[in-house]
Amino acid sequence: ATMNSAKRTRNASAPTLPEVLKDLRDTACGDAVPPVTAREGLRTMELVEASYRSNLDRRAVAIKSL
């Protein structure tokens, strides 16, 4: 892929690191509501871990259910 095609596919609405850290601070201080539930966050991490293991092992990996 060329640099131009990479720029075209980038998500312009993705938050920057300072924005993410501010939201994290505000949530930790009780000034904001988390964007996802703990259960949703755990499920996401299960998907990431299964994807990583699948790639390393070159096989399908079952995803745990909550």
Per-residue pLDDT of the chain (66 residues; tens, 9 = 90+): 444 444 555 556 888 999 999 999 999 999 999 989 999 999 999 999 999 999 999 999 988 764
Tokens of 29: 């201080």
Q: By the 8 A CB rule, do 53 and 62 touch?
A: no
pLDDT at 1: 47
pLDDT at 12: 66
Q: By the 8 A CB rule, do 26 and 32 touch?
A: yes
